[in-house]
Amino acid sequence: MIIGVPKEIKNNESRVGMTPAGIFELIKNGHTVYVQSGAGEGSGFFNSDYQKAGATILDTIGQVYAISEMIVKVKEPIEEEYHLVQEGQIVFTYFHFASSETLTRAMIKQKGVCIAYETVEDEDGSLPLLTPMSEVAGRMAIQQGAKYLEKPKKGRGVLLGGVPGVAPGKVLVLGAGTVGIQAAKMAAGLGAHVTIMDVNMKRLRYVNDVMPPHVVTEFSNEFNIRKHIKTHDLIIGGVLLKGAKAPNLITRDMLKDMHPGAVIVDVAVDQGGCVETTKATTHEDPIYIIDDVVHYCVANMPGAVPYTSTVALTNVTLPYVLKLANNGWQSACQNDASLEKGLNIVEGKVVYKEIAETFDLGTPALV
């Protein structure tokens, strides 16, 4: 198969779809790989590294799309890329279709085979290709939240870990999935008081077993959320509904009850956010303030640590890329139920139920 790795052109997105080590494995399996010039530089991988691994370097993104049977990316195509996707071409990347009707309709029109990292699902319900980026984003959420709690950044002026004689900051984590647990771990390590909420008692029991005593679990409902936002300094939104839009757990009217200078980091922004006032921001302009509450809603948080993120991503995507390249998408998906769940849009038809429901596109087509 001919595989293309384009340079990411989303704002401040420095990750790349494949490391030289991943390219080496693809070449070893008899495939041809084209990499756009400079695609890996933001992650610390240079053209010469890809050439040594056996890839051919092309100058433009258009050349990479035009020659490739499969595109391996990190983020969804943005508007200027839509027309480059060809009919029948596999695009394997994070799509997060439920957060963008424009993207969904564009990919239906282009008739590509859109396989989304975030909906590839193992038998136990885990999301193997979303997990490493959720781990990065969950840990980063505390770093960023701690920074924006500082007064020069318009925050409340609270040190999360406190000092002797001064109580530590309070962190509220919504969701006890991968993002939530990683955020709680980092916040606890800084010495903050952490409350983590979920509707899944199994997850809360797990958190209770593995976290230190200053991480407190509580069942998630509107009453409890309204109670806690009045006293917490940093709120992390880490709620995920697979392939669907995240629910609004914090509404606009709740902001007035929060401390002025409190910070919300909505990691769920990729799926529309779990805070009503969430709107996607960029690393260039990461925050905005509503009712004196600082909102940090960067849609590609792991893009700020591209070396770590790219290596972590290739570690998990490469086995699936090899299956697709070795067998073609139809055979690969027939033989791997996890990969089949990654199919979102196939040659103009939506095949993933949650996306069809989000945009009232009727009953999803059968593959």
Q: Rounded to an integer, what distance in angstroms lies between the CA atom of residue 215 and that of residue 192?
A: 9
| Same domain? 180 vs 295 | yes
Annotated binding site for NAD(+): 134, 198, 203, 220, 239-240, 267-270, 298-301
Beta bridge partner(s), residue 281? 298
Query: Lowest-confidence range among 141-150, 186-195, 266-275?
Result: 266-275
CB 298 within 8 A of CB 269: yes
In a domain, 124, yes or no: no
What pLDDT score was predicted for residue 363?
76
pLDDT category of residue 367 using cuts at 50, 70 and 90: low
What pLDDT score was predicted for residue 11?
80
Residue 234 pLDDT > 80: yes
| Same domain? 274 vs 296 | yes
In a domain, 19, yes or no: yes
Q: Rounded to an integer, what distance in angstroms lies between the CA atom of residue 264 and that of residue 141?
A: 9
| From 232, 233, 266, 270, the catalytic residue | 270
| Same domain? 89 vs 137 | no
Residues 6+ apart with CB under 8 A from 125: none
In a domain, 241, yes or no: yes
| Same domain? 246 vs 271 | yes
* Domain total in the chain: 2
- Indicate the average pLDDT of the chain: 95
Average pLDDT, integer, range 233-257:
91
Question: pLDDT per residue over 336-359, tens digit each?
Answer: 999 999 999 999 999 999 899 889
Query: Lowest-confidence range among 32-41, 317-326, 352-361?
Result: 352-361
pLDDT category of residue 297 using cuts at 50, 70 and 90: very high
| Same domain? 108 vs 205 | no
What pLDDT score was predicted for residue 98?
87
What pLDDT score was predicted for residue 337?
96
In a domain, 47, yes or no: yes
270 in catalytic set: yes
Domain limits for position 193: 130-304
In a domain, 233, yes or no: yes
DSSP 311: H
Residue 361 pLDDT > 90: no
What pLDDT score was predicted for residue 240?
81
Annotated binding site for substrate: 15, 75
| Same domain? 300 vs 310 | no
Strand 170-174 with 193-198, pairing: parallel
pLDDT category of residue 301 using cuts at 50, 70 and 90: very high
Strand 170-174 with 56-58, pairing: unpaired
| Same domain? 284 vs 355 | no
Count of beta carbons in the 10 Å neighbourhood of residue 151: 10
Q: Rounded to an integer, what distance in angstroms lies between the CA atom of residue 294 and that of residue 262?
A: 6
Question: pLDDT per residue over 166-193, tens digit each?
Answer: 999 999 999 999 999 999 999 999 999 9
Per DSSP, the chain holds a count of helices (H) and strands (E) of: 11, 15
* pTM of the entire predicted model: 0.87
96 in catalytic set: yes
* Domain-ending residue, one of 285, 304, 323: 304
| From 96, 228, 232, 295, the catalytic residue | 96
Q: Comparing C-alpha atoms, which of 54, 48, 61, 47 is closest to residue 25?
A: 54
Half-sphere exposure (Cβ direction) of 48: Cα atoms closer than 13 Å: 1
